Structure 1
Amino acid sequence: MSSIHFTLAQIEAFVAVCASNNLSKAASKLNKNRTTISELISLLEINLGYDLFIRAKKPLQLTLEGKQLYTQACLFLQQVSIFDQFAMQLPKQLKQTLTICYDCFIPHSFIERLLCHFTDQQIELNLLNIDRLHAEKMLLEDKADIGIYPAVNRIINTEFTWCAIGTIELGIYANQHFFAEKSERISMLELASTNQLVPFAELSYQLTQMLKISDKLQHVTNIELLKQLLNNKKGWSILPIHLFAMAYKEITRFDTELWDKGAMLNIVSICKPTNNKQLQQFIDQISHLY
C-alpha cells in the first residue's frame, strides 16, 4: 500500500483555515494554538509538494490546488465522522447475547429450534417464560430484545413494532368426565357456568375478548399444575393443542357450537423500534424458523 501524505489533524487544520481564512480563528475552533495550526498546514504542504495558500494576501487565499483539495477534504472529514459514529455504536449493535420473552402458548419445539439456531451462530439466548405485559415492560427498559406472543388485535403504538411469524390452534380441554353432558360437543352455557382455568396471571382486555367464556376464572400460570387440575376435574381451559401433542391422563379435547373446528391464533414477534440491523436480522430468522 502506498504511503499516506497527510494526517487527520492536518486535514482538520486545513479545512478549519479554509472556512475562516484566518489561522487564529481556526486555532480557536480546533482548541489549538495558532503556531500548531500553522505547523500542521506547513507540514501538509511539504508532504504534498505544493502550496495550498497564497500567504502574500490577507486574508489568506487558496491556491488553485488548494481549492480543489478543499472540496475533497470536506468530503473526507464527513466520511471520518460517519466512520467514528459507526465504530462507537458497533459494540452496542453486535450482540452476543439475545433475550427472548415468550409465554406458554408458544410451542416448546419452536423455542428449542431457536436455541439450536442461535447457538450455532454463537449467540447466547436468555429465554424468559413470562406474560406479555411483563415482557413489554422489559422491552421498554431494554432488559429484553424480542417478545414472541399471541397477537392481541390491538393497534401497535410507537413503543413497539411487530412481525407476524405464524399461527397456533387452540382447543377446549377438560377431563373426559368433567362435563355433566356425556358428549364431545359442549354447550356454551355449560362452559359459562363452570370453572375456567386461565394460564395467565391476568388477562388484558384483548385476551379477555378472545379467551374468557366463563364467569368463574381461576388463574394458574404453571402449565403442569394446570394440567393436573384439569385431570382432577377442577375446571376446563382454552389451550394450544401443541400442549397435548402427547396424550395426558384423562384430559380430552371438546368441541362446542363455536369451536367445532378449533380456533387459530396469530403469533407475532414484538420489539422496540430500532435501526439495529443485526436485531432486525434476528427477527427475520425467527420468522423463518417457526
Structure 2
Amino acid sequence: MPAIHFTLAQIEAFACVCETNNLSLAATKLQKSRTTISELIDSLEINLGYILFDRTKRPLQLTAEGKKLYTQARLFLHEANIFDQLAMQMPKEIKHTITLCYDCFIPLSFIKKLIAYCEQQRIKLNLLNIERPQAEKRLLTGEADIGIYPAANRMINADFKWSAIGTIELGIYANKCFFSNLQTNISILELASSNQFIPFIQLPDQLGKIIKISDNIQQITNIELLKELLDNKKGWSLLPTHLFTESYKNISRFHTELGNKGMMLSIVCIWKPTANKQLQQIIQQIINHIDL
C-alpha cells in the first residue's frame, strides 16, 4: 500500500483554516493552540510538496492547489465522520450470532421468549426449523449451537451435553367426523387401522415408537398443510396441544380408550460443550428461566 502523506489532524486543520481564513480562529474552533495549527499546516505542505496558502496576504488566501484540495478535504472529513459514527456504534450493534435448531413440536411461545431475550442481549439469533438428526450433525460440525427437541429416550452422543427444560402434551387430532364411533373413546385398534400423519421425515427410534401408532403412516412436514388434510378427513395425527390453542376449522381433539389425559413428552436442550460465555449464558437462560 502506498505511503499516506497526511494525517486526519492535518486535513482537519487545513479545512478549518480554509473556512476561517485565520490561524487563530481555526485554533479556537478546533480547541488547539495557534502554534499547533500552524505546525500542522506547515507539515502538510512539506509532505505534499507544495504550498496551500499565500501567507503574504491577509486574510490568508488559498493557492490554486489549495483550492482544489479543499473540496476533497471536506469530502474526506465527511467520510471520516461517518466512519467514526459507525465505529462508535459497533458495540451497540449485534455482539454475537447464535444458531438454534428446533422442530414443530417446540411451542412458538417459547421461541418468541427466546427471541426477545436475545434481542435484549443484542445477540443475533438464527432459527432453523429442522429435524433432530439434521440438527445433531450441525451441532457436531459447529454449524449450529443449540438444539431444542423432544427427548429421544436413548443414550445421547458423547460429544453432547443436554438438559431437560420441560414437557409438552400430545393429543389425538382429526376432523370431528373422521372416526366411526363418536360416542366413545377411540380404540387403539381404530387408530392403528386409520391413516396417521406425522410431521417428521426422521425420528429417533425410541421417539418413533411413541409417536407412530398406525400401520399406515403418511409424512407431512408442513404443519399448515397437515391441518388442512386433517380437516379434509384424510387421517388423524398425534400432535402437541399447543398447535391448537385456537380452534381450527372442524378439527377436534379425541380421547382414547387409555384415558382422557394426553401423552406428556419431555423436551431437552442439547449442545456441544463450549467455552463461549455468551452461549453458556443463553443455555442457562433456556434451562432455568424460559418456560415452555
Tell me the TM-score range normalised by the shorter chain: 0.5 to 0.7
- Is residue 249 from structure 1 mapped to residue 249 from structure 2 by the alignment? yes
Partner of 2:190: 190
What residue identity is the alignment partner of 2:230?
Answer: L
Q: Cα gap change, 1:95/1:144 in structure 2, threshold over 3 Å: closer, same or farther? A: farther
Contact 1:147 1:271 in 2 (8 A): yes
Partner of 1:96: 96
Count of aligned positions: 197
CA RMSD of aligned residues (A): 1.4
Partner of 2:290: 289
Q: CA shift at 1:159, angstroms? A: 1.7
Contact 2:102 2:148 in 1 (8 A): yes
Q: Deviations over 1:40-95 (max 9, x none)?
A: xxxxxxxxxxxxxxxxxxxxxxxxxxxxxxxxxxxxxxxxxxxxxxxxxxxxxx96
Q: CA shift at 1:155, angstroms? A: 1.3
Normalized against structure 2, the TM-score is what?
A: 0.65
Partner of 1:121: 121
What residue identity is the alignment partner of 2:216?
Answer: K
Contact 2:133 2:202 in 1 (8 A): no
Q: CA shift at 1:259, angstroms? A: 4.6
SS at match of 2:255: strand
Q: CA shift at 1:131, angstroms? A: 0.5
Contact 1:184 1:254 in 2 (8 A): no
SS at match of 2:269: strand
Q: Deviations over 1:128-178 (max 9, x none)?
A: 111011111110110000000011111123121101111101100000000
What residue identity is the alignment partner of 2:238?
Answer: I
Gapped regions of structure 2 (runs ≥ 5): 1-93
Partner of 1:149: 149
Q: Cα gap change, 1:259/1:130 in structure 2, threshold over 3 Å: closer, same or farther? A: farther
Q: Cα gap change, 1:161/1:184 in structure 2, threshold over 3 Å: closer, same or farther? A: farther
- Is residue 212 from structure 1 mapped to residue 212 from structure 2 by the alignment? yes
Contact 1:211 1:238 in 2 (8 A): yes
Contact 1:101 1:144 in 2 (8 A): yes
Q: CA shift at 1:274, angstroms? A: 2.4
- Is residue 275 from structure 1 mapped to residue 249 from structure 2 by the alignment? no
Partner of 2:236: 236
Q: What does 1:30-109 align with in structure 2 at a 5 Å threshold?
A: 96-109=96-109
Query: Which shifted more, 268-277 or 194-203?
Result: 268-277
Contact 1:158 1:273 in 2 (8 A): no
Q: CA shift at 1:286, angstroms? A: 1.2
